[in-house]
Amino acid sequence: MELIRAMEERRSTRAFLDRPVEREKLKRLLQLATQAPSAINLQPWEITVVSGEERERLSRLLVKRMRERNISCAPGAKDPLPEVFLERQRGLLDVLLPNLPAQSSFEDFINEGSCNFYGAPSAIIIAIDEVFSSVRLTDIGILLGYLVLAAHAMGLGTCPIGLITAFEDDIREVLSIPDQKHVVIGVGVGYPDPDAPINRSRSERVPLGKVVKWRG
């Protein structure tokens, strides 16, 4: 698949087929993702792939912790969002709400779905050593971009999930990740369900004129 076509087509998947992703395919995906550039070749990412019963066990724990602590998805802002960002968020709600599974509220779908990786058969957990400052999260972002685009080109769906970082102590314990590693993000990976209405939800992107300034 052409790179530009993948960039234009790719959207987050929130419903997956009950079909495991082949180990060799996951390895190829990670080989492509880790071609991402990083500052002075530090390659600071550390990756754990969780599949099958291990993924389900992790998800059960995350859902339990989410309910116990009443934690919800949030934009990660320190202050209330300005109206310009709330408007963009509403653009997503407008396309998701009509396609939610029956009898499911938006909050439950997003919160429990995130903790369950939306039913993806595999989850990729990306961590970074505490020795690095937050500046190196830029490298993780580049890796993530490579990963989701490569997955789309390979016929896989992905959904990056930030909510799970609220439970990084639990994740480290279950997956035997050392204490000095910080969980940055998780990604659900699997084959998209082509019949799920939620996967046909496509939010529009902001026109360039609203996010780009030209000088010279």
CA pair distance 8, 2, nearest whole angstrom:
10
pLDDT for 77 equals: 67
CA pair distance 177, 170, nearest whole angstrom:
10
Residue 76 counted as domain residue: no
| Domain that includes residue 121, residue range | 3-71+81-202
| Cβ atoms of 136 and 60 closer than 8 Å | no
Residue 125 scores a pLDDT above 70:
yes
Mean pLDDT of 133-143: 97
In sequence order, the β-bridge partners of residue 186 are: 125, 161
Residue 207 counted as domain residue: no
Residue 214 counted as domain residue: no
Residue 11 scores a pLDDT above 90:
yes
Residue 104 scores a pLDDT above 90:
no
Residue 215 counted as domain residue: no
Residue type at 157 in one-letter notation: G
Residue 64 counted as domain residue: yes
Judged by DSSP in three states, 183 sits in: strand
With pLDDT > 90 as the criterion, what percentage of the chain qualifies? 81
Residue 9 counted as domain residue: yes
Number of domains the chain is built from? 1
CA pair distance 104, 85, nearest whole angstrom:
25
Token pair for residue 166?
């609220």
pLDDT for 74 equals: 74
Residue 212 counted as domain residue: no
Mean pLDDT of 63-81: 85
Mean pLDDT of 72-87: 82
Judged by DSSP in three states, 126 sits in: strand
| Stated pTM of the model | 0.93
CA pair distance 120, 52, nearest whole angstrom:
10
Residue 78 scores a pLDDT above 80:
no
